[in-house]
Chain A
Amino acid sequence: MALNKDYEDIPGTFVFDADRGRKGYQLNQFCISLRLANNRDAFNTDEAAYLDKYPVTTEQRQAVLERDWNRLLELGGNIYYTSKLAANDGINFQQLAGLMTGMGNEAYRAMMVAGGRSPDGNRYQHEWDKEGEN
Chain B
Amino acid sequence: MARITAGVGCSHVPAIGVAMDQGITDQPYWVPVFDGFEKSREWMKAQKADVIFLVYNDHCTVFDASCIPTFALGCAAEFSPADEGWGPRPVPVVKNHQVFASHIAQSLILDEFDITVMNEMEVDHGLTVPLSVMFGDKGVDDEWPCLVIPLCVNVVQYPPPTGNRCYNLGKAIRRAVESFDEDLNVVIFGTGGMSHQLQYKRAGLINAEWDKQFLDRLTSDPVALSQTQHVEYLREAGSEGVEMVMWHVMRGALDDEVEEVHRHYHVPASNTAVGHIILENVND
A residues near B (Cβ < 8 Å) are: 6-7, 10-18, 21, 24-25, 28-29, 31-32, 34-37, 40, 70, 73, 78-81, 83-84, 87-88, 92-94, 96-97, 100-102, 108, 111-113, 115-119, 122-124
Contact = CB atoms under 8 A, between A and B. Distances in A.
A14 to B, nearest CB: 6
B268 A35 contact: no
Contacts of B240: 79
Contacts of B87: 37
B189 to A, nearest CB: 21
User: Interface centre among B240, B267, B268, by most A CB within 10 Å?
Assistant: B268
Contacts of A70: 200-201
A84 B199 contact: no
B198 A117 contact: no
Interface in B5-22: 14-15, 18
B268 A112 contact: yes
B168 interface: no
19 contacts: A6-B231, A7-B158, A7-B235, A13-B200, A13-B234, A16-B157, A29-B66, A32-B60, A35-B61, A70-B200, A78-B157, A84-B60, A92-B15, A93-B198, A102-B201, A112-B267, A116-B195, A116-B267, A118-B206
B24 to A, nearest CB: 14
Contacts of A35: 61, 82-85
B236 interface: yes
Contacts, number: 156
B110 interface: no
B201 A115 contact: no
B201 A101 contact: yes
Given A32-B65, A35-B83, A94 B199 contact: no
Contacts of A24: 65
Given A10-B235, A35-B85, A93-B14, A117 B273 contact: no
A15 B200 CA distance: 11
Interface string B185-223: 000000000010111111111111010000000000000
A117 B64 CA distance: 30
A78 B205 contact: no
A119 B236 contact: yes
A83 B270 CA distance: 14
B83 A97 contact: no
B201 A11 contact: yes
A25 B64 CA distance: 10
Given A11-B201, A94-B270, A116-B268, A34 B85 contact: yes
B174 interface: no
A119 B59 CA distance: 25
A10 B242 CA distance: 14
B40 interface: no
A108 B198 CA distance: 12
B70 interface: no
A100 B156 CA distance: 19
Contact of A29 (B59, B65, B197, B204): B65
A6 to B, nearest CB: 5
Contact of A12 (B201, B268, B271): B201
A70 B198 CA distance: 12
Given A13-B197, A13-B199, A97-B198, A117 B158 contact: no
